[in-house]
Chain A
Amino acid sequence: DAGVIQSPRHEVTEMGQEVTLRCKPISGHDYLFWYRQTMMRGLELLIYFNNNVPIDDSGMPEDRFSAKMPNASFSTLKIQPSEPRDSAVYFCASKEGLGDFTDTQYFGPGTRLTVL
């Protein structure tokens, strides 16, 4: 398996523009997580899905952020409109569906977002 795949790897956009980040989890993994990493706040969980259903979105910072998982092999994180403070590295991670969180999460390579 190629591991978790994210695109794009780098995104530079201007304030006010819509940004869409994409993730393909490892095949067979039932859980998908979106994280944001910044120097100030570290690694924050934004939202996670189980079997394509959003379970906990309490980490989503504002209504400008939305996430979807239309099928088991694809998820998007959208920011509309984007702001400079959204600049960060966004990671997607996935894991098997063992019913709890005591198994390994595999991270994708991340998308480095810069909002000017």
Chain B
Amino acid sequence: GENVEQHPSTLSVQEGDSAVIKCTYSDSASNYFPWYKQELGKRPQLIIDIRSNVGEKKDQRIAVTLNKTAKHFSLHITETQPEDSAVYFCAAGGRRALTFGSGTRLQVQP
């Protein structure tokens, strides 16, 4: 089955700086890579996703890149704000049910 590894497990940045979270996956058949944000005590919510037919996707301050050859994808958050503080999960799947990474706790210091 699919194995997704996510790094780092915790990340602390200053407000206004950029944050990058990286994931690798093992199943070359995976073709869908969503990112979920989970605020403390809340449910995971989709913030952006990418399919294997594109290499990059942007939505305002958030971008995701995908390298199919290397089997890794990354989440980039620019101009971070305190409200970006949360746990972020990557996932991989598409042909099969999603497998989630272990999560990254992002803390944005004001």
Binding site for B on A (CB under 8 A): 33, 42-45, 48, 56, 91, 100-102, 104-105, 107-110
Contacts and interface: CB of A to CB of B under 8 A. Distances in A.
A42 B91 CA distance: 12
Interface size class of B (residues with CB under 8 A): 20 to 34
Contacts of B93: 101
Interface stretch (B13-21, B43-51, B59-67): B43-51
Contact of B46 (A105, A108, A110): A105
Interface of B: 31-32, 34, 42-46, 49, 51, 89, 93-103
Given A43-B89, A43-B103, A101 B95 contact: yes
B102 A48 contact: no
Contacts of B97: 33, 45, 48, 56, 101
Contact of A104 (B43, B49, B94, B99): B49
Given A42-B101, A48-B97, 20 more contacts: A42-B103, A43-B100, A43-B103, A44-B100, A45-B98, A45-B99, A45-B100, A56-B97, A100-B95, A101-B97, A102-B32, A102-B51, A102-B94, A105-B34, A105-B46, A105-B98, A107-B44, A109-B42, A109-B43, A110-B43
A107 B42 CA distance: 10
Contacts of B100: 42-45
Contacts of A44: 100
Nearest to B96: A101
Contacts of B96: 101
A107 B51 contact: no
B23 to A, nearest CB: 12
A42 B100 CA distance: 8
A91 B94 contact: no
B94 A100 contact: yes
Contacts of B34: 104-105
Contacts of B32: 100-102
Contacts of A91: 43-44
A102 B31 contact: yes
